[in-house]
Amino acid sequence: MDIADPLRIGGLREAWRRFAYRWWLKTLGISAYITGFMFLYFTLLRHPLFPVTIMPLTGLDRLIDFTPWSLVLYATLWAYISLVPSTLWSWSEMREYLLQVTLLGLLGFAIFLFWPTAVPDALIDWSAHPSVAFLKSVDAAGNACPSLHVAYAVLTGIWLQRLGRHFGASAAVLALNWLWCLGIAYSTLATKQHVALDLYSGALLGAVLPLVRPRPVFTSSPLAA
């Protein structure tokens, strides 16, 4: 047996213990937090205080075509984000995470408030794509720059990378984390919800807070053997 195997098995057990620890409270907290976030997000989206700026297209936008199936990737953001708070157990870990996600949201909302943006018309008959048409009807292509979809994916990717190393995850698992993150970022362009400039600025915003803040210290779960 590879000496790394027992370490990885122990890491899986640690991850499961963390996930199971007060899972009901974390589920309620995540749901309440997302509900509050969406309320503020849609309020700003539907009631801009200043003229809306249409974001310009770049070469990357012309390169990536509309891809209906990318809606699936786009929707997985919420499951992806939930992985981090679901595997935190101590208040010191949760406090730092909540600080970062809250500051990220406030920075994004401040930009949307004073500089509302939207993406240009993609000239696509959305009625031919009912699932994407529903997304467009609920989440109009405003609050565009920076893309908070990308920002939260990048912040989550960094936290999962650090958690994965704490658990002794394999290189393949760590790579899968970043593939998921990249897939979500790609989906923002492939669904035509965002343009490349939104993606770039969102990625920068999502990386700043976890990289400038002190690294969280992960400790063994309270039920560790």
Other beta carbons less than 10 A from residue 148's beta carbon: 27
CA distance readout (Å), 164 to 2, 14, 15, 84, 160: 19, 11, 9, 10, 6
Confidence tier at 172 by pLDDT (50, 70, 90): very high
Residue 154 has pLDDT above 50, yes or no: yes
The structure's pTM equals: 0.91
Instruction: Say how many C-beta atoms besides its own lie within 10 A of residue 56's C-beta.
Output: 11
Task: Give how far the C-alpha of residue 153 lies from the chain's centroid of Cα atoms, to the nearest Å.
Answer: 3
The pair of three-digit structure tokens given for residue 134, joined into one six-digit string: 């529903």
Q: Would you say residue 225 has pLDDT above 80?
A: no
Report the pLDDT value the prediction gives residue 164, as an integer from 0 to 100: 94
Confidence of residue 99 (pLDDT cuts 50, 70, 90): very high
One-letter amino acid for residue 48 of the chain: P
**pLDDT tens digit sequence for 38-76:** 999 999 999 999 999 999 999 999 999 999 999 999 999
Confidence category of residue 125, pLDDT binned at 50, 70, 90: confident
Q: What is the mean pLDDT of residues 186-194?
A: 96
**Number of Cβ within a 10 Å radius of residue 189:** 24
If pLDDT is split at 50, 70 and 90, which confidence band does 8 have? low
CA distance 72 to 143: 21
Locus of tokens 């362009």? 189
Highest mean pLDDT pick, 86-100, 148-162, 203-217: 148-162
Q: What separation, in Å, do the N-terminal and C-terminal C-alpha atoms of the chain show?
A: 22
How far is the C-alpha of 177 from the C-alpha of 165, rounded, in Å?
A: 12
| Residue 224, pLDDT above cutoff 70 | no
Question: Would you give the distance in Å from CA 52 to the centre of its chain?
Answer: 24
Rounded Cα–Cα distance for residues 61 and 73 (Å)? 18
